[in-house]
Amino acid sequence: MKVSFVIPALNEEGIVGRTIKSIPVDEIKEAGYEVEIIVVNNDSTDNTEQEAREAGATVFLEKNRGYGNAYQRGFKEASGDILIMGDADGTYPLEQAMDFINLIVEDGCDFVIGSRFDGTIEDGAMPALHKYIGNPMLTKMLNIFFHSDYSDTHCGMRAFTKEAYSKMELSAPGMEYAIEMVIEASEKNLNIKEVPIYYRKRGGGEAKLSSFDDGWRHVKYMFNRKFNK
């Protein structure tokens, strides 16, 4: 059985290499799995691609920028039975990957998502606006609209089987991809489990989120999906 890590990267020089090296490859191999690490270079203008290759990743170039575009390219290229996703900026504890893998293999889960709110958020890792208003509000809205029970719909560290991925009909090119995925997982009745994680401050690179613009896009996406589908 093979585990594929898929990491999108846009101008993450200085941190993408450390993120790749944080993946517990030896631990996963000792548990009996093959490992591949895929970085999707989302048309970076810095040294992201070379740094990722030197750290041991296979790099694919996706010129169409966007969170969803990058992940869709990465999952298309991945050959693993289990797919694990996480950001390149060091915020997510990829060293905790075996917790996700074990829930899939031993507990029969289809889709495992981290929870920063059930876990620990390092001081300064998440702006107060996101921590106390934005993320809780968007999570509650999604749970009400789509009859789900997530504690952190926007956590970007997730794992799922290749079969589960094929069931989720994902097409959003941008940040909406994050909530499209959790909605699809719920609507397709996948066996979903959350894992408390330790969320850290960015290790480098440039921040991609725009609090108001991205938040509003997520709200519009949920309304359109709920009422215009």
pLDDT, tens digit (0-9, with 9 covering 90-100), for 163-207: 999 999 999 999 999 999 999 999 999 999 999 999 999 876 555
Backbone dihedral region for residue 171 (phi beyond 0: left; psi -120 to 50: alpha; all else: beta) = alpha
pTM above 0.85, yes or no: yes
Confidence of residue 219 (pLDDT cuts 50, 70, 90): confident
Q: Mean pLDDT, to the nearest integer, of 118-134?
A: 88
Better-predicted residue by pLDDT, 129 or 42: 42
| Whole-Å CA distances, 7 to 34, 68, 216 | 17, 12, 25
Q: Which domain holds residue 131?
A: 2-228
pLDDT over 90 (residue 208): no
Q: Considering the chain, what is the average pLDDT of its residues?
A: 93
Structural domains counted in the chain: 1
Q: Mean pLDDT, to the nearest integer, of 65-75?
A: 97
Confidence of residue 127 (pLDDT cuts 50, 70, 90): confident
Confidence of residue 128 (pLDDT cuts 50, 70, 90): confident
pLDDT at 217: 83
pLDDT, tens digit (0-9, with 9 covering 90-100), for 44-55: 999 999 999 999
Side by side, the strands of the sheet bearing 158-161 are: 58-61, 34-41, 2-9, 82-85, 158-161, 111-121, 192-199
d(C-alpha 8, C-alpha 16), whole Å:
10
Confidence of residue 227 (pLDDT cuts 50, 70, 90): confident
pLDDT over 60 (residue 209): no
pLDDT at 166: 98
Q: Mean pLDDT, to the nearest integer, of 118-132?
A: 89
Q: Give the CATH number of the domain where residue 132 resides.
A: 3.90.550.10
pLDDT at 205: 57
**Is residue 119 within 8 Å of residue 50, measured between CB atoms?**
no
**Is residue 84 within 8 Å of residue 5, measured between CB atoms?**
yes
pLDDT, tens digit (0-9, with 9 covering 90-100), for 143-165: 999 999 999 999 999 999 999 99
pLDDT over 60 (residue 17): yes
